Amino acid sequence: PLSKNASNVRYLSTLNISGKDYVSDDLTNIRQSISSHVGRNVYLLPNHPISILNSLIHSHFGPTYTVVPPKSPIVTPEQNFDSLSFPPDHPGRRASDSYYINRQWMLRTHTSAHEVEVFAEGHKRWLFTADVYRRDEIDASHHPVFHQMEGARLWSNTEISSLVEENRQLETELSRQDILIEDLTTIGQSNPIQPCHDEMLARSISTNLKLSINGLLLKLFGTEGNGPLKVRWIDAYFPFTSPSYEVEVFYQGKWLEILGSGVVAQSTLNKAGIKSEAGWAFGLGLERIAMVLFQIPDIRLFWTTDERFLQQFQPGLVTSFKPYSKYPPVTHDVSFWLPVVHEGKAPFHENDFCDIVRDIAGELVEDVKLIDNFAHPQTGRMSHCYRIQYRSMGRTLRQEEANLITQDIKNQLITMFSVESRG
C-alpha cells in the first residue's frame, strides 16, 4: 500500500524503523536506504575511526565532562527545532532538508536536538555523540547519515572570575602553536551578544570556547607530518546561540567546515530550568575531522562492512588509511523536464534527486552534481541535468550494471515525480 506525501510522492504506508512500525502521512520522506542506518551504531565499534576519534576527544576534555549515554535518533520536531528557538519558516524544517517519519516524528538532524534535556539533567560540562540524518547533497564529504558530537560548558555568576583566570592560563599554553589559527570573527552588530548577557561575560565565554576547541585541534592535528594545519574561525548564525561561530580547516585545497558553535541562547537554558548560568556549546562533524586525521578520502567508507577498512584501525591509535586500489568510475548524465509546479505543492528539489539515487545506487554512488538548470525561453518549463558518478570501493563496476541503475533512477523519477525524460 502506498500513501502520498506533500509533493504527491508515494511512500510505503507503514515504515519499520528499528523494529517498530510507524504510520506514514503527507510528510513521510524516508526510504529504506536511510532507515537501514538507524541502529547500526558504527560509532560504538571499538576499531571504527569515528569511535577512535570520539575517545580521543573524550580524553582531551577529561573526566570533568560527563559523557551522556546514547539517545534514540527518533525525535519530535519540537525537540529538533522548537526547543532550540528555530523560527516556524526556518529552511531546516522543510521536508526537502530533513527526514520525517510522519508529522509527529523525525530523525534528528543534529545532536543539538537533545540540548534542553541534557541541560535539564543538570550537567554543566558534557559531551554527547550520536548519529544524525539530513537530506543533503552527494559528494565525498556529505553523507545523509553522519555523526556529531555536542559539547557544552556552563558557568554560574560566582564562577566568572575563575573563567577569566582559566582563559589566561589556556592562552599561555596555546602560544606554542604548530597549527595556524586565524580568527576572522567579529562579535558585535552582525554577530550580536544576547541582550541578557553582560558584554565582558559573553566575550570571556567566547574566548574560552575558542581556546578549548583550539586546544583540541592542536592535540588532534599538532603532530601532523605534512606541515602545519590551517584553521579559521568565522562568524555564523544558529537560532540557539549568539554570538555564533564556525570552524573550517584547509584540506585538499578547500576550506572544510568541521563545527558550529556559540554562546548558548538563554532561552534554551530557561527551557531546561537553568536561569542563572551561561556558557558555550559546539557541534562537531566527526566524519569531517576523521577524514583529515585518518586520511580517509571518501565519507562512504565509514559505512562499509569491508574488512579491509575496519582491520586497518586499532582503538587509541591514529593511523593513516591505506586505500585499497581505486577502481574506475562510471559517469552518467540524466536530464529531464520538471513537472509543472502547482500551487501549494513543493517544487522538485535537488535533494529529491539525490535521495532516489542513494536509494537505488546505494554506496555505489560517489558524486552527484547538478550540471545544467535550464528554463525554456518560450514555455518557461524547467529542465535539470545531473551528472552521476558511480564507483565501487571494492571492485570494478561493469558498464551494464551502471546502465541498469541509471535506468532504474529514470523510471523512479518518472513514476514518483512525473518528470519527462530529455533523452
Closest separation in Å from C-beta 238 to ligand FA5: 5
Q: Specify the stretch interacting with ligand FA5 by CB under 6 A; choose among 120-128, 143-151, 357-365, 410-418.
A: 143-151
Cβ–Cβ < 8 Å for 62, 151: no
Which listed option, ligand FA5, Mg ion, none, makes contact with residue 134 (CB within 5 to 8 Å by class)?
ligand FA5
CB of 283 to Mg ion, least distance (A): 9
Sites for ligand FA5 among residues 98-127 (CB under 6 A): 110, 112
Among 29, 54, 96, 148, binds ligand FA5 (CB under 6 A): 148
Least separation in angstroms between residue 192's CB and ligand FA5 is: 15
d(CA 222, CA 85): 37
Q: How far apart are the first and last CA of the chain?
A: 31
134 lines the binding site for ligand FA5 (CB under 6 A): yes
Number of residues that bind ligand FA5 (CB under 6 A): 23
Residue 243: is the preceding peptide bond cis (ω within 30°)? Answer: yes
Strand 66-67 relative to strand 125-133, pairing: parallel
Ramachandran quadrant class, 23 (left: phi over 0; alpha: psi -120 to 50; beta: rest): beta
Distances (CA, A) of 313 to 140, 148, 309: 20, 20, 8
| Residue selected from 146, 221, 294, 390 as contacting ligand FA5 according to rule CB under 6 A | 146
Residue 243 interface partner, choices ligand FA5, Mg ion, none, CB cut-off 5-8 Å depending on type: none
CB 129 within 8 A of CB 96: no
Binding residue (CB under 6 A) for ligand FA5 from 98, 129, 261, 268: 261
Residue 31, binding choice from ligand FA5, Mg ion, none, Cβ under 5 to 8 Å by partner class: none
Question: Interaction with Mg ion in 244-303: which residues (CB under 5 A)?
Answer: 260
Q: Which of 142, 203, 332, 387 binds ligand FA5 (CB under 6 A)?
A: 142
CB of 358 to ligand FA5, least distance (A): 12
351 contributes a contact to ligand FA5 by CB under 6 A: no
Restricting to residues 287-316, name those near ligand FA5 by CB under 6 A: 287-288
The piece of 145-153, 222-230, 323-331, 402-410 that touches ligand FA5 (CB under 6 A) is 145-153
How far, in Å, CA of 53 to CA of 60, rounded? Answer: 11
Which residues in this chain contact Mg ion in the complex, by CB under 5 A? 260
Which residues in this chain contact ligand FA5 in the complex, by CB under 6 A? 110, 112, 134, 136, 142-143, 146, 148, 150, 238, 241, 257-262, 281-283, 285, 287-288
